Every structure is written in C-alpha cells, then in structure tokens.
Amino acid sequence: MKKILLSAAFVALALMPAMAADVVELPVASTYNWTGFYLGAHVGGGKSKVDWEYSRNGATADHDGSGALGGVQAGYNFQSGNIVYGIEADIAAAKIDGDTSCPNPAYTCESDVKMLGSLRGRIGYTMDRLLIYGTGGLGYGTIEIGTSGPVGTNDTTKTKAGWTLGAGLEYAFNDHWSLKGEYKYFDLGKGDYTVDGGENVEAKVRIHTGVVGLNYKF
C-alpha cells in the first residue's frame, strides 16, 4: 500500500507544473512597435471664429463658421520604451464657412476656410497597441474673406501661416493598420483683405477641428 501511495504522490508532483501551466496564463510582453513610416487619410469637421474689423472706421462683423474637411497625412514614429515620438505632415480640402450682416446691412460679410494643413511634432505614451499623444507645430490655411450684396461679390483669398496644437488617440488593430481620433486648434493670425467698394478689412481666423483617420504603417 505504501508503494502505491508513494507512486501516486510522485505522479502528482510530476503533473503539477503542467496542470499549473494550463490553469494560470502568465502575462505576455507587448509585441507591437510603433516605429516606422506611415501614410493615411482623414475626414472630419471644423468650426471657425473670425474677428473682422474695417480699417477705415473700426466697424466689426465678427462671426463663426462651420463645415467639413478631408485629406491625407504622412509621418514617421520612433518608439523608446513606452514613449513614442515623431513628425507628421497633413493637408486637407475644407469648406468651413460662415457669415453675418455687414455694418451696411445691404451686404453680407462672409468667410470660407478652403484648405488646412500642418507640419507637427508628435509625442505620446503607448500601452501596447493604444497610443495617447499630443502634437503641435506649424499650421497653415487658405482663407477667403469677402462680401456679397447689391453689386455682386467682392472677396480676397490668401494662404496664411500660423500655429497649431492638439491631441489624439490612435489604436493599431493589426501590424499595419491603425485608427485615430484627433483634435487640433489652428491660429492663423491676422490678415488684410479687400472687400466691397475697395474697403480694407483686418481679419483674424482661428479654427477648431476634429477628425478620424486611418493609417497604414510600412
């Protein structure tokens, strides 16, 4: 009987590691690496705030605008531990427009952001396939400022440079494809524009954007 019990004990001891391995799953280290070049596309919307002042008499026609945008982006990431940093450029066609009555109510004062782009640094913290990041750098856009009224439309279009800041989340759902959501604020500064009757207007344009994007990492 003792021999049988000892034999059973030895068998049980021999099987314990295998049984424990089946019951307990040890955590697996992160396998995803964000380092590399990527290309992608994005779509979303924006809201503009336009501070409008006539140079001749200081009259104002401040107003807000809203609309859609969509474009492409490219960048490169480096990963060191849980820190991811890199650079990204993007450009988008936009239709973010707004208007209000001019000081002369026979006219409507209008703005239209036709294009937005940026060249930015990115830095963030990754938890395997999830990346939380901040971003900032050069922002630029094409802006149309004009008036419409009894004698038609008179407007000026300029491309203005300024700065942008933002933040986002990005999730890699396989080794190549990732999905992101991103917010950016653009300050494109002040510019001089010619509108109705040769009047000169100083307009300051700021824009909030929110987009979703899809990236492919090579």
Instruction: Render pLDDT for 165-191 as a digit per residue (tens, 0 to 9).
Output: 999 999 999 999 999 999 999 999 999
E-strand ranges in the chain read 36-54, 63-80, 83-101, 108-127, 130-149, 152-172, 177-194, 200-217
Instruction: Render pLDDT for 6-50 as a digit per residue (tens, 0 to 9).
Output: 343 333 334 434 434 444 443 444 589 999 999 999 999 999 999
What is the rounded CA–CA span in Å between residue 174 and residue 129? 9
3 φ, ψ (degrees, to nearest 5): -60, -40
Q: CA 61, 66, 72: angle at the middle one, nearest 5?
A: 130
> In Å, how far are 28, 122, 124 from 82, measured between CA atoms?
16, 14, 8
- Other Cβ atoms less than 10 A from the Cβ of 81: the count is 7
> In Å, how far are 32, 58, 90, 128 from 79, measured between CA atoms?
10, 52, 21, 11
So what's the pLDDT on residue 153?
Answer: 83
18 φ, ψ (degrees, to nearest 5): -65, -40
pTM for the whole thing?
A: 0.84
Side chain identity, residue 66: S
Helix (H) or strand (E) holding 18: helix 2-23
